[in-house]
Amino acid sequence: MSKLILTSEVTGLGSAGDVVDVKNGYARNYLIPQGFAVAWSRGGEKQVEQLKSARAARELATLEEAQALKARLEESPVKLTVKAGREGRLFGSVTTADVAAAVSAAGLGELDKRTIELPSAIKSIGEHEATARLRDEVTASITLQVVAAK
């Protein structure tokens, strides 16, 4: 088992700044090369504190603000206009950055693209679902209406 410090949030494993034990292959082949983690060391404790303070600054200030943002996101669908072919297939796919920009453009609030999760790649027009982790205990469901640009 390898002891690592997460540098960004990994679904099912932990948040930035957490110290986790994972299997050697998972650490060596995925987490470290992707930049999601660094090897734990005694000097790494300072880095853990920096990551936790940065995460706290990025989080929404209060639980009430997160609940209000969740209500706004869940009550109205977010419209994304993208280039598509005749059969409704997209040229490329919708990314989390596209979703964050669309939420901002709709005036619903500001989201960090790293907090948005797409269950699968969005490669066609229509209605799709995404989730946004606003805080550890608050998760919002976002309805995306993907339409073709004219």
The per-residue pLDDT for 70 is 87
The per-residue pLDDT for 65 is 81
Q: What is the pLDDT of residues 4-32, one digit of tens each?
A: 988 888 888 888 778 899 999 999 999 99
Low-confidence ranges of the chain (pLDDT < 70): 51, 55, 57-62
- How do beta strands 122-124 and 89-94 pair? antiparallel
Q: How far is CA 129 from CA 13, 22, 37, 122, 147, in A?
A: 23, 31, 29, 9, 14
The per-residue pLDDT for 86 is 84
CA distance 8 to 106: 27
The per-residue pLDDT for 61 is 61
Burial of 103 (0-12, 13-18, 19+ CB in 10 A): buried
The per-residue pLDDT for 143 is 92
**Residue 139 CB: number of other CB atoms within 10 A?**
14
The per-residue pLDDT for 145 is 92
